[in-house]
Amino acid sequence: MAATIDVDLGRRFYMLGVIHRDERNRALLRQWIAGIGPDVVTLEFTNYGLMFRKENREIYKKRIDEIAKKLKNVKRSYNEAAKGDLESFINMPDEYEIVSEYCAERQIPFYLIDMDLFSYLKLRDTEELFDAGNIERLLTEKDAGNGYGEAAMARLFFKSGLKGVPYDDEMYVRDRYMADRLSLLMKHSPEKRFLHITGWRHLEDPHGLYAPLNPLKVFPYG
């Protein structure tokens, strides 16, 4: 379902499926974006999520650092991977920073096309999540995350066809919304080559929402 070979530059619409917060993204995304050479780039990210991080990431990062320093001062160990996961939640996604830089350098359009509503619903409890007590608990849990579970699920899906997380109603609503926005953009610029960067799960598209746009799907991790 997804290509892992050299791209067909004769195509007009590409979907690049990424594993969010994967440490390989910076190198891989630069390589694949340059190889495709899009005229327009869209991203599965929201304007609400962008503004939320711009306004709050330094506040929460300072809080995380203060708790980590407190634990160190009382000689309590904490999980560096968990600290990294917490920071990645409030940092700008690598995808956004890489695409923003690429498009600015080449002066080409870049659109955030995901739904603000779901972004708001996911972020509205962030203050509770980043309460000092919760940060300390998350940093000191034995099984605090390392982010590799997502990569393992992605490999199983593309290599073996196994599904770890079901394609739910929220995914359907968001994909329908993004496919509609892409359709309008492509009609407005019929001569342009489009690249849509999205989470790898959206490549499944079981309802064929992106099918009318004839996408070439790329999963760049091999």
CB-based burial of residue 192 (10 Å sphere; 0-12 exposed, 13-18 middle, 19+ buried)?
middle
Contacts with 80 (C-beta within 8 Å, 6 or more apart), sequence order:
none
Is residue 23 domain-resident?
A: yes
Would you put residue 63 in left (φ > 0), alpha (ψ -120 to 50) or beta? alpha
Is residue 3 domain-resident?
A: no
Residue whose C-alpha is closest to residue 67's, from 133, 127, 126: 133
Residue whose C-alpha is closest to residue 209's, from 177, 164, 169, 162: 177
pLDDT grade for 193, boundaries at 50, 70 and 90 = very high
pLDDT score at 203: 94
Is residue 4 domain-resident?
A: no
pTM value? Answer: 0.85
pLDDT score at 144: 54
> Rounded distance, CA 188 to CA 97, Å?
26
Is the pLDDT at 153 greater than 60? The verdict is no
Q: Of 38-47, 66-75, 82-91, 93-102, which range is least confident?
A: 82-91
> Rounded distance, CA 34 to CA 29, Å?
8
- Count up the domains in the chain and report the number: 1
Is residue 5 domain-resident?
A: no
Residue whose C-alpha is closest to residue 219's, from 12, 11, 24, 9: 24
Is the pLDDT at 142 greater than 80? The verdict is no
Is residue 212 domain-resident?
A: yes
Is residue 8 domain-resident?
A: no
pLDDT grade for 163, boundaries at 50, 70 and 90 = low
Q: Of 17-26, 93-102, 178-187, which range is least confident?
A: 17-26
Print the domain residue range for 51.
Answer: 13-218
